[in-house]
């Protein structure tokens, strides 16, 4: 293609004015740096977003079934037996939650007691988030609690303290205590020792204490009812598919939520923030791409003699426009490809070697900036750069070439 050959020669050939070479290189570097920065920032954003979601997923089940009305329900009313037989379901665990006052030595804390059945710890990833101790809920007839990190800190909890247990006090559900003048009669109290402390995310660390389900039922006073069914989906089955099958069993009296729906607002916020970051950095990239307009304008002026020769040899104005349009696209694509490669390389090095560290890393779960590259980010960035470069090149090639051809024809 003649236009491509001429445009490629204009790109790599030395210009008569050194300033044009410098401006062309600045344009290419500007596109490259903008593209590289966009890829790096989006990948870091993906890393933080995935880290947050991973932390939430360490505590939440794949699918959660709760009643539409009320706080607790009979598992049989939700068809737990039929749910357990579904091919998409790996396991079903029962959970019973209630607010409680915790007392340890001379300290107090209001938390949520979460009674869980035996398979709960294996169905979620909390065993990997233990900060101290061993994640044990039952050992023979002895019950233990797994305490959130913030709660343990507030209580100054010591796991190796055999003399002091955690006092758990839960309001009674019946009204018998109303006739008593002793406020303590309004609560049911039990003691339990902590086996371990978990650290996941502040929302969980400052709220939950995990206890055995049977112990929770005794202190809360619920012989059979639960607050939720926590369901683990089998490998190879999508949560959407499993949720649809479970919903068909439970009916309209229960809400069936997958991981996305359990924290729908969080997922939407992360998606919106990523879009906002992309738009802001895309605007910066747009400004950087405007250098192409200046580069092409100066190149067209410099090649005014060549344009005249082409026209005298029978070339039409469309060919001339195509030459400089391709020239602008070559600059954009060269910068885009170089930026994508460099950005991907930097992200790869950060992923495997953690070159850039976080300040005060000892206070976080990670010590370096998390990075997660996604193919679609590269695709979207490439399309964005190409579109901006094409628009700038088309405008310059159309407006400036037409003006130069008119001046050439008038001579």
Q: Residue 410 pLDDT more than 70?
A: no
- Specify whether 225 is located in the same domain as 334: no
- Specify whether 238 is located in the same domain as 310: no
Last residue of a domain, one of 201, 232, 261: 261
- Specify whether 401 is located in the same domain as 311: yes
Q: Residue 401 pLDDT more than 80?
A: no
Length of the chain counted residue by residue: 411
Confidence of residue 93 (pLDDT cuts 50, 70, 90): very high
Q: What is the DSSP letter of 160?
A: T
pLDDT computed for residue 243 by the predictor? 93
Q: Residue 361 pLDDT more than 60?
A: no
Give counts: helices (H), strands (E), the chain: 14, 11
Q: Name the more confident of 184 and 67.
A: 67
If one counts the domains in the chain, the total is 2
- Specify whether 401 is located in the same domain as 319: yes
- Specify whether 36 is located in the same domain as 100: no
Q: Name the more confident of 113 and 294.
A: 113
* Rounded distance between C-alpha atoms, residue 81 and residue 92, angstroms: 10
Give the rounded percent of residues in the chain with a pLDDT score beyond 90. 43
81-85, 262-266, 315-319, 389-393: least confidently modelled range: 315-319
pLDDT computed for residue 340 by the predictor? 95
Q: Residue 3 pLDDT more than 70?
A: no
pLDDT computed for residue 167 by the predictor? 95
pLDDT computed for residue 97 by the predictor? 95
- Specify whether 6 is located in the same domain as 33: yes
* pLDDT, mean of residues 336-355: 92
Cα distances from 272 to residues 34, 110, 277, 279, 393, in angstroms, run 21, 34, 9, 11, 31
pLDDT computed for residue 312 by the predictor? 73
- Specify whether 298 is located in the same domain as 184: no
Q: Residue 74 pLDDT more than 90?
A: yes
- Specify whether 206 is located in the same domain as 156: yes
Confidence of residue 404 (pLDDT cuts 50, 70, 90): low
* Domain carrying residue 281: 2-56+267-410
pLDDT computed for residue 8 by the predictor? 65
- Specify whether 119 is located in the same domain as 241: yes
Instruction: From 82, 83, 114, select the one nearest 97 (Cα to Cα).
Output: 114
pLDDT computed for residue 7 by the predictor? 62
Last residue of a domain, one of 261, 296, 322: 261
Q: Which of 125-134, 174-183, 287-296, 360-369 has the highest mean predicted lDDT (pLDDT)?
A: 125-134
Last residue of a domain, one of 225, 242, 261: 261
User: What token pair was written down for 31?
Assistant: 């596109």
Confidence of residue 201 (pLDDT cuts 50, 70, 90): confident
pLDDT digits (tens, 9 = 90+) for 287-328: 777 777 777 777 777 767 776 777 777 767 777 778 878 888
Sign of the alpha-carbon torsion through 217, 221, 223, 224: negative
Average pLDDT, the chain: 84
* Rounded distance between C-alpha atoms, residue 381 and residue 143, angstroms: 54
- Contacts of residue 194, defined as CB under 8 A and 6 or more positions apart, other chains included, come to 133, 144, 145, 146, 147, 152, 157, 159, 166
Confidence of residue 101 (pLDDT cuts 50, 70, 90): very high
pLDDT computed for residue 87 by the predictor? 92
- Please name every residue paired with 66 in a beta bridge, in sequence order, or none if there are none: 255
* pLDDT, mean of residues 62-72: 93
Q: Residue 16 pLDDT more than 70?
A: no
pLDDT digits (tens, 9 = 90+) for 234-246: 998 998 999 999 9
| Cβ(129)–Cβ(200) below 8 Å | yes
Q: Residue 273 pLDDT more than 70?
A: yes
31-40, 187-196, 252-261, 385-394: least confidently modelled range: 385-394
Confidence of residue 14 (pLDDT cuts 50, 70, 90): low
- Specify whether 386 is located in the same domain as 367: yes
- Specify whether 217 is located in the same domain as 322: no
- Specify whether 291 is located in the same domain as 391: yes
Q: Output the CA angle 20-26-29, nearest 5 degrees.
A: 145
């Amino acid at each position: 293609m003649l236009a491509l050959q001429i445009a490629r020669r204009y790109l790599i050939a030395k210009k008569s004015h050194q300033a044009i070479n410098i401006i062309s290189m600045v344009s290419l570097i500007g596109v490259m740096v903008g593209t590289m920065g966009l890829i790096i920032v989006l990948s870091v954003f993906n890393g933080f977003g995935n880290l947050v979601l991973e932390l939430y997923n360490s505590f939440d089940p794949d699918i959660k079934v709760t009643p539409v009305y009320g706080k607790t329900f009979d598992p049989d009313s939700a068809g737990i037996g039929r749910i357990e037989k579904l091919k998409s379901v790996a396991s079903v665990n029962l959970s019973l939650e209630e607010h409680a006052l915790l007392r340890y030595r001379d300290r107090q804390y209001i938390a949520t007691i979460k009674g869980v059945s035996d398979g709960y710890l294996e169905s979620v990833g909390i065993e990997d988030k233990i900060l101290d101790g061993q994640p044990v809920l039952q050992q023979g007839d002895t019950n233990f609690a797994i305490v959130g990190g913030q709660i343990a800190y507030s209580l100054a909890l010591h796991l190796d303290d055999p003399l002091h247990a955690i006092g758990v006090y839960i309001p009674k559900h019946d009204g018998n205590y109303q006739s008593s003048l002793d406020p303590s009669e309004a609560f049911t109290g039990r003691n339990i020792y902590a086996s371990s402390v978990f650290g996941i995310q502040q929302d969980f660390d400052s709220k939950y204490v995990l206890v055995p389900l049977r112990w929770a039922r005794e202190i809360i006073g619920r012989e059979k009812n639960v607050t939720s069914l926590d369901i683990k989906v089998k490998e190879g089955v999508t949560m959407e598919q499993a949720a649809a099958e479970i919903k068909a069993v439970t009916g309209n009296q229960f809400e069936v939520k997958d991981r996305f729906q359990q924290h729908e607002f969080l997922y939407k916020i992360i998606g919106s923030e990523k879009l906002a970051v992309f738009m802001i950095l895309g605007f910066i990239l747009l400004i950087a791409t405007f250098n192409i307009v200046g580069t092409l304008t100066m190149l067209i002026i410099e090649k005014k003699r060549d344009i005249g020769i082409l026209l005298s040899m029978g070339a039409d104005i469309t060919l001339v426009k195509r030459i400089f349009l391709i020239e602008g696209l070559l600059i954009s694509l060269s910068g885009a490809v170089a930026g994508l490669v460099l950005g991907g390389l930097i992200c790869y090095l950060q992923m495997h070697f953690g070159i850039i560290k976080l300040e005060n890393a000892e206070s976080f779960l990670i010590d370096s900036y998390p990075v997660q590259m996604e193919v679609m980010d590269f695709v979207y960035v490439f399309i964005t750069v190409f579109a901006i470069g094409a628009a700038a090149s088309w405008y310059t090639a159309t407006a400036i070439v037409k003006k130069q051809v008119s001046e050439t024809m008038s001579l």
